[in-house]
Amino acid sequence: MATKKKESGSAGTQTSDPSTNGKSNPDLDRELLRSMLLQRRFEERCAEAYALGKIGGFCHLYIGQEAVSTGTLSILRPDDYVITTYRDHGQALARGMSPRNVMAELFGRADGVVRGKGGSMHLFDRNVNFLGGHGIVGAHVPLATGVGFAIKYRGGDQVCICFMGESVVNTGAFHEALNMAGLWKLPVVYVIENNRYGMGTALERASAIHDIYERGASYNMPRAQCDGQDVFAVREATQEAVDRARRDQIPTLLEVRTYRFMGHSMSDAVSGTYRTKAELDEYMKRDPIMLLRMHMLEHGELTDEELQRLDAELKALVQDAWDFADKSPEPPLESLYEDVYVDTTSDSTNQAIAAD
Ligand SMILES: Cc1ncc(C[n+]2csc(CCOP(=O)(O)OP(=O)(O)O)c2C)c(N)n1
């Protein structure tokens, strides 16, 4: 697959190429395919569960964007941090969160990752340093800058990846947070998933600049753009940014060009009135899972039978998650009053903070 990349900025050095350098890497490719296909199969069932009323509230599907979550998060270490928006199911799974507990959260059940009180938009798991799932557009970007500050303050070498949609770049929080990260040289990779639309508004109708990565110039920040349908291109661009953050504590603004195949959320139709069916069909020709599968077939890394086996295995895994979620109880009413304030006086909380 071709990789397309632009890079500019003061510290934009290339250090490693995590793609295959033209050689096959079947084990890695199988892992990437598994991760992307799990997200796809999981979310297809989410759409079904939503239609059946098992998932309530908002539900934004990630279908079409799986190469972004898998490509970026496959570069991270377990002790790195991830923070994101409401379109968070795929990233949660790619980060290794349990499909059972994620599905239970979507069903609003007590075994959910946040005990059924967050729902689709607020997935969170401290075990894998997944800091949400945030529903307010742009509000989590300053939090990511804060995580970067904490890492630097404590003398760590972790990195924080902060995902956001392209609409975020026109909010004040984005400007304030990136300015601070650029000024203080914080180890954060800001990943803009440019899927071309904020709800029903095309990027061209909302932004004075269309090559969004150029905004990094305002914050003296290295910046790059890559093809978000090509998991290898995403990995390569992420590796450069993560190396730079880990080694030199320099942030990066990475624009990943992608496309969502479903509507903005489960409340709008698949194609909507703001885009044509022909446009959708054109983008679907570059389905990221299909592209990876074709690459693997061409390189003799995968047979049709192996693909069918993997698919059957993942469908069973998702069915198991569904069954688990369905059996999980509703959270008890009393739990409404739990987890509202942090008890900083308790021994266990203090120990947890000290151990960080
Ligand atoms: C501050 C704020 N304004 C408006 C909304 C309503 N809203 C929810 S999603 C959305 C569009 C965001 O689009 P984008 O950031 O590009 O992400 P995408 O949905 O494309 O993944 C808007 C305007 C909100 N949640 N928060």
Residues of the chain with pLDDT under 50: 1-21, 353-355
**Closest residue by CA, ligand 1 atom 11:** 198
Distance, CA 167 to ligand 1 centroid (Å)?
7
**Rounded distance, CA 45 to CA 274, Å?**
26
The residue ranges of every structural domain in the chain are 5-18+27-329
Question: Hey, whose CA ends up nearest to atom 2 of ligand 1?
Answer: 137
Q: Which DSSP state fits 9? A: S
- Provide the pLDDT for residue 342: 79
Instruction: Return the half-sphere exposure (C-beta side, CA atoms, 13 A cut-off) of residue 132.
Output: 19
Token output for 25: 């890497």
Ligand 1 touching residue 194 (CB < 6 A): no
Q: Is the CB of 328 under 6 A from ligand 1?
A: no
Is any atom of ligand 1 closer than 6 Å to the C-beta of 251?
no
Distance 199 CA to ligand 1 centre (A): 7
- Condensed to tens digits (0 to 9), the pLDDT of residues 7-58 reads 444 333 233 344 444 557 999 999 999 999 999 999 999 999 999 999 999 9
Pocket test for ligand 1, best of 58, 166, 167 (most atoms within 8 A of CB): 167
Decide if 219 contacts 178 (C-beta within 8 A): yes
Alpha-carbon gap, residue 116 to 342, rounded angstroms: 18
Q: For residue 34, what pLDDT is reported?
A: 98
Identify the pLDDT of residue 3.
38
Ligand 1: centre distance to CA 264 (Å): 9
CA distance 142 to 148: 10
> Which atom of ligand 1 is nearest to 199's Cα?
11
Q: Is 195 in the pocket of ligand 1 (CB under 6 A)?
A: yes
Most ligand 1 atoms within 8 A of CB, residue of 62, 137, 204 to mutate? 137
What is this structure's pTM? 0.92
Q: Is 109 in the pocket of ligand 1 (CB under 6 A)?
A: no
5-18+27-329 has which fold? Rossmann fold (3.40.50)
C-alpha 338, offset from chain centre:
28
Give the three-state DSSP class for 82: strand
- Residue 88 Cβ inside 6 Å of ligand 1? The answer reads no
Looking up tokens 């949660």, which residue turns up? 92
- Which residue owns the Cα nearest ligand 1 atom 5? 137
Give pLDDT, residue 344.
73
pLDDT for residue 128: 98
For the Cβ of 295 lying below 6 angstroms from any atom of ligand 1, the answer is no
Task: Look at residues 175, 189, 179, 114 and name the one whose alpha carbon lies nearest to residue 147.
Answer: 189
pLDDT at 283: 96
Q: From the CB of 90, is ligand 1 less than 6 Å away?
A: no
Beta carbons of 20 and 232 less than 8 angstroms apart: yes
Cβ(162)–Cβ(91) under 8 Å?
no
Instruction: Say what the pLDDT of residue 268 is.
Output: 82
Burial class (CB in 10 A: 0-12, 13-18, 19+), 44: middle
Long-range CB contacts (< 8 A, 24+ apart) of 307-311?
310/30, 310/33, 310/34, 310/37, 311/37, 311/41
Q: Is 87 in the pocket of ligand 1 (CB under 6 A)?
A: yes
